[in-house]
Structure 1
Amino acid sequence: MQMRDAMKLQRAWQAKGAPPCAHPEMDVEFDLGGRTGDKVCTTCGESFSREELKEMGR
Structure 2
Amino acid sequence: MLIGILIYLISPVKANENLIFTFFPMAILATGFVEMTKDDFWKQIIMGIFILIGITLFVFQL
Relative contact order (alpha carbons < 8 A, sep ≥ 6): 1 or 2 greater?
A: 1
Instruction: Return the structure number with greater strand share.
Output: 1
Instruction: Return the structure number with greater helix share.
Output: 2
Give me the TM-score of the superposition, normalised by structure 1.
Answer: 0.33
Rg larger for: 2
Give me the TM-score of the superposition, normalised by structure 2.
Answer: 0.32
